[in-house]
Amino acid sequence: MATNKHAQIRYKALDNCFSNPGRRYYIEDLIEECNKALLYQAGIVDGVKERQVRQDIRDMECIWSIPLSKSRDGKKVYYHYDDTRYSINNQPLNEIEISQLKETIYLLNRFKGLPQFSWMEEILARLENTFKLKGTTVNAVEFEQNPYLKGLNLFSDIFNAIVNKQTLRISYKRFEKEPKEYIFHPYFLKQYNNRWFLFGFCEHLKEKALITMALDRIEQVAYVNIPYIHNNKIEFDEYFEDVIGVTVYEKETEKIILEIENVLFPYVETKPLHGSQKIKERNQRTTTIELNLIVNYELENLLMGYIDKIKIIAPDHLREKMVLRVKDAINRNS
């Protein structure tokens, strides 16, 4: 029994036909209306055939017990509801829809730790009570998150400032330094390694590049009545494509060549270090891969986690930097 998005589009189109007393809909008309709806709402050109539409009608009779009549007009049959006031949109949820709602509720419950979604607790409680869902399903998924992370209490204000294009006054404290205030134009929030980072423009700094602030270093946030400077330069959907993490330098990407022991490679293959990862060579002992990205601190930290099972072939400066970090770690722990 179909329950996907395209099936729902067809069910809605058929429901509209069955409840229309001003026209007789034969099977050819129903097929045409379904295909019109699929084209308009989902961009599907090929559409469906008679067999699928007849199956959809049987599904609707099974799911909603629709009061469908099939009246003869000569040798042809047209379809309509006995009660033209009837619509599947007016019916209580069926078992399939309740099951899907349960899955959605338990998925949404994972967001309750974030301040921006604190409203969700009340909504979820009402849904659970209305549809008698509480305690009926075992929770089967959990996202990695840290509800105790410093700065999360500011998430909602920052999120709303981005959405509403509102300038902020931010008190920001770098490690081992005194807090400073900044007039900040927020553009984007990104999570990496269980920390949240804010990106935006700070008009009174000498550098005019994008500024990054870690939420756990922000001490206070206040809205200010200063004209908002819009982001007309950066497409954040593409901004982080060439890096691991959140640090983006103004430089070209480089070819990173890594030789990985085969005992480790299955982990790197199933969880690629970066989207540009591709295999260059394989032998009985090692696999050589190539990455194309900008070298940054997050990449170095990622490689440190695999350092006993990889060899950095290129670039030279990355290999030298990693050797220095390993030597420093040995000296500190000797």
Specify the range with the lowest mean pLDDT, choosing from 138-142, 217-221, 326-330: 138-142
pLDDT tier for residue 202 given thresholds of 50, 70 and 90: confident
For 5-90, CATH gives 1.10.10.10
| pLDDT tens readout for residues 271-327 | 999 999 999 999 999 999 999 999 999 999 999 999 999 999 999 999 999 999 999
pLDDT tier for residue 212 given thresholds of 50, 70 and 90: very high
Q: What is the mean pLDDT of residues 227-241?
A: 89
Q: What is the pLDDT of residue 109?
A: 59
- The residue assigned the tokens 């394989």 is 282
Q: Give the whole-number percent of the chain exceeding pLDDT 70.
A: 80
Winning range, highest mean pLDDT, from 33-37, 97-101, 191-195: 33-37
Q: What is the dihedral of CA 220, 186, 250, 149, to 10 degrees?
A: 40
Q: What is the pLDDT of residue 1?
A: 45
Domain parsing of the chain, residue ranges: 5-90, 94-143, 152-239, 254-332
Q: What is the pLDDT of residue 2?
A: 47
pLDDT tier for residue 168 given thresholds of 50, 70 and 90: very high
Q: What is the mean pLDDT of the chain?
A: 85
Q: What is the mean pLDDT of residues 112-116?
A: 54
pLDDT at 93 over 70: no
pLDDT at 157 over 90: no
For 254-332, CATH gives 3.30.70
Q: What is the mean pLDDT of residues 94-116?
A: 62
Q: What is the mean pLDDT of residues 122-151?
A: 61
Q: What is the mean pLDDT of residues 10-17?
A: 94
HEC letters along the chain? CCCCHHHHHHHHHHHHHHCCCCCCEEHHHHHHHHHHHHHHHHCCCCCCCHHHHHHHHHHHHHHHCCCEEEEEECCEEEEEECCCCCCHHHCCCCHHHHHHHHHHHHHHHHHCCCHHHCCHHHHHHHHHHHCCCCCCCCCCCCCCCCCCCCCHHHHHHHHHHHHHCCCEEEEECCCCCCCEEEEEEEEEEEEECCEEEEEEEECCCCCCCCEEEEHHHEEEEEECCCCCCCCCCCCHHHHCCCCCCCCCCCCCCEEEEEEEECCCHHHHHHCCCCCCCEEEEECCCEEEEEEEECCCHHHHHHHHCCCCCEEEEECHHHHHHHHHHHHHHHHHCC
Q: What is the mean pLDDT of residues 30-58?
A: 91
Task: Find, among 300, 292, 288, the residue nearest to 261 by Cα.
Answer: 288
Architecture, CATH, for domain 152-239: Roll (2.30)
Parallel, antiparallel or unpaired: strands 278-282 and 286-293:
antiparallel
Q: What is the pLDDT of residue 177?
A: 80
Residues 6+ apart with CB under 8 A from 48: 10, 31, 34, 35, 38
pLDDT at 116 over 60: no
Distances (CA, A) of 137 to 101, 126, 134: 11, 16, 8
